[in-house]
Amino acid sequence: MQEHWPHPPVRVERRPVGEAESRAANGPDWDRYADEYQATHGEFLGDAGFVWGPEGLTEAQAGMLGDVADRDVLEVGSGAGQCSRWVRTHGGRAFGLDLSHRQLQHSLRLDDQTGVRVPSVLGTATALPFRDASFDVVFCSFGALQFVSDIALAVAETARVLRPGGRFAFSVTHPTRWMFPDDPTEAGLVASQSYWDRTPYVEVDDQTGEVAYVEHHRTLGDWVALLTGAGFAITTLLEPEWPEGHDRLWGGWSAVRGRLTPGTAVVGADLLAGADD
């Protein structure tokens, strides 16, 4: 809901949705939405740019991944691979993984346009098709994590493919945004639902009754428990402030709300040595 304007004809509900149903809905949804997403946000993202969210915080500013030169790096929910392309231009061996075939077609288009290739694979965050201890860094910039139901499995998969001491960094909609309607105006500043209600946001196709799109919510405490439970030590939580003069709208993100409430959480964690033994 935070990213997404419902594509009619759908109705919005809150109801439990498992992993298989989330994936079956979100893959086709991102296939339908990919062209519009890239047309709307591509210039802001930059073909070989790395931003952590609608506030425009860049990896060059944030340094969440550390020095990527000569590192094996996996981007989960890589979309058109803009962030991985930035990693490649900084000497890292970045690879992409995404659930949406159409998003990966855009990644190939940008590979051709820029001459910076990001080898990418179709897949899901909950079943990473890589051997244990393959990567030094795994990251997601608004990719995958809030679309996954079985988040413990996605975090465990991340730990599995990371080398000991490896780095996991990701951005998600700031958990406090769950309380507010997905409205970039002042109407979106009035809390209307419980922060602790994890019932997923669901769009249901009016004609078929099938789930067409799902987002899942975790509180900050949930993230701490998930990461520490999987053997990570959390090192960083960034809550990017809305920059002065930045007036871009992105779904429910806007200057009106961004000046008062955080819209994005960027989390960094290191896999403790021996955690995945």
Ligand X SMILES: C[S@@+](CC[C@H](N)C(=O)[O-])C[C@H]1O[C@@H](n2cnc3c(N)ncnc32)[C@H](O)[C@@H]1O
**Number of residues written out for the chain:** 277
| CA–CA separation, 200 and 204 (whole Å) | 12
Least spacing, CB of residue 148 vs ligand X, in Å: 5
Signed CA dihedral, 237, 242, 248, 253: sign only: positive
Tell me if 264 contacts ligand X by CB under 6 A.
no
Which residues face 171 on adjacent strands? 141, 266
Is there binding between residue 125 and ligand X (CB under 6 A)?
A: yes
* Shortest spacing between CB 170 and ligand X, in angstroms: 10
CA distance 232 to 225: 10
As given in the structure block, the two tokens for residue 188 are 């979106």
Beta bridge partners of 265: 172
Q: How many angstroms separate the Cα of 169 from the Cα of each of 31, 182, 232?
A: 25, 25, 11
- Tell whether residue 57 is a contact of ligand X (CB under 6 A): no
* Residue placing its CB nearer to ligand X in the complex, 248 or 272: 248
- Distance between CA 100 and CA 105 in Å, rounded? 9
Does 77 contact ligand X by CB under 6 A?
A: yes
Please state the separation of Cα 84 from the chain's center in Å: 13
Q: Which is nearer to ligand X, 164 or 198 (CB)?
A: 198
Query: Which one of 57, 148, 159, 226 is in contact with ligand X (CB under 6 A)?
Result: 148
- In angstroms, give the least distance from the CB of 142 to ligand X: 4
Residue type, 264: T
147 forms part of the interface with ligand X (CB under 6 A) = yes
- 65-73, 91-99, 214-222, 235-243 -> range binding ligand X (CB under 6 A): 91-99
Amino acid occupying residue 55: E
151-161 and 220-229 helices, crossing angle to 10°:
40
Should residue 143 be labelled a site residue for ligand X when binding is judged by CB under 6 A? yes
Q: Is 158 in the site for ligand X (CB under 6 A)?
A: no
When asked if residue 98 is in the footprint of ligand X (CB under 6 A), the reply is yes
Stretch that binds ligand X, among 112-120, 136-144, 196-204, 247-255 (CB under 6 A): 136-144
Q: Which is nearer to ligand X, 119 or 165 (CB)?
A: 119
Give the residue with the Cβ less far from ligand X, 171 or 254.
Answer: 171
Sign (positive or negative) of CA dihedral 181, 185, 187, 189: positive
**x/- map, 15-54, ligand X, by CB under 6 A:** --------x--x---x--------------x---------
**∠ CA 131-132-134, rounded to 5°:** 75
Determine, following the binding rule CB under 6 A, whether residue 87 of this chain makes contact with ligand X: no
As measured in angstroms, the least distance from the Cβ of 30 to ligand X is 3
Q: How far apart are CA 147 and CA 179, in angstroms?
A: 18
Residues that bind ligand X in the complex, under the rule CB under 6 A? 3, 23, 26, 30, 45, 76-79, 83, 97-100, 103, 124-125, 141-144, 147-148
